């Protein structure tokens, strides 16, 4: 297994060098290219942690909803990885629903706010994350 993980990590690095390293989107796209290339059904969370350094973000949507469930992570930067996890059954749909509800409350409360206030509270990022979470719920429901 360590040989496969090393191969996948090396592939990720090669794809990242091709794409660029300027944003989280680049990391997400490079990791998506690794998944597409290998057509893997079982995802190594060690690989996510090693490549994206966002293990806590993905642990957040795998675990059952609790007081620790956070709606503040920017899943919009990792749509391919998040949807991949949804497609292969790694995500908890109750947790996704909980996060989506929290995001909708925040977005509704922000209606009519000034642009500056919306920027300070990352309303656009939360809206984009809500779209990714909603897509994941739809993916889970379609299987």
Spatial distance between the Cα atoms of 142 and 90, rounded to a whole number of angstroms:
14
Over residues 26-75, the pLDDT tens digits come to 988 888 888 765 555 555 677 787 778 888 999 999 999 999 999 999 99
Q: Name the least confident of 5-9, 96-100, 106-110, 113-117.
A: 5-9
- Average pLDDT of span 95-122: 93
Note whether 70 and 138 are same-domain residues: yes
Based on the fold, state whether residues 59 and 122 are members of the same structural domain.
yes
Are 27 and 59 within one domain?
no
Please tell me the predicted confidence (pLDDT) of residue 39. Answer: 52
Q: Are residues 65 and 45 in the same domain?
A: no
Residue 143, pLDDT score: 82
Please give the tally of structural domains in the chain: 2
The whole-number pLDDT of residue 40 equals 54
Same domain, 125 and 141: yes
Based on the domain organization, do 59 and 4 belong to the same domain? no
Q: Which domain holds residue 125?
A: 55-143
Residues 135 and 75 both lie in one domain: yes
- Measured CA to CA, the distance from residue 22 to residue 30 in angstroms comes to 12
Residues 62 and 131 reside in one and the same domain: yes
Q: What's the CA angle centered on 28, arms 15 and 142, to 5 degrees?
A: 125
Together in a domain, 70 and 139 = yes
Q: Are residues 89 and 119 in the same domain?
A: yes
- Residue 109 confidence class, pLDDT cut points 50, 70, 90: very high
Q: Which of 33-42, 97-106, 123-132 has the lowest mean pLDDT?
A: 33-42
The reported pTM is: 0.77
Whether residue 75 sits in one domain with residue 130: yes
The yes-or-no verdict on residue 87 having pLDDT over 80 is: yes
Lowest mean pLDDT among 1-10, 62-71, 99-108: 1-10
- The DSSP letter of residue 73 is S
pLDDT of residue 54: 87
CA distances in angstroms from 127 to 2, 11, 15, listed in the order given: 38, 32, 28
Instruction: Please give the pLDDT value at position 35.
Output: 74
């Amino acid at each position: 297994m360590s040989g496969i993980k090393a191969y996948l990590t090396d592939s990720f690095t090669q794809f990242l060098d091709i794409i660029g390293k300027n944003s989280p989107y680049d990391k997400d796209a490079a990791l998506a290219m690794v998944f597409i290339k290998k057509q893997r059904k079982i995802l190594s969370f060690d690989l996510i942690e090693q490549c994206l350094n966002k293990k806590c973000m993905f642990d957040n949507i795998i675990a059952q909803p609790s007081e620790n469930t956070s709606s503040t992570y920017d899943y919009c930067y990792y749509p391919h990885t998040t949807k991949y996890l949804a497609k292969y059954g790694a995500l908890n749909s109750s947790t996704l629903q909980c996060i989506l509800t929290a995001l909708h409350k925040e977005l509704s409360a922000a209606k009519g706010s000034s642009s500056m206030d919306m920027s300070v509270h990352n309303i656009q990022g939360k809206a984009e994350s809500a779209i990714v979470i909603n897509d994941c719920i739809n993916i889970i429901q379609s299987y």
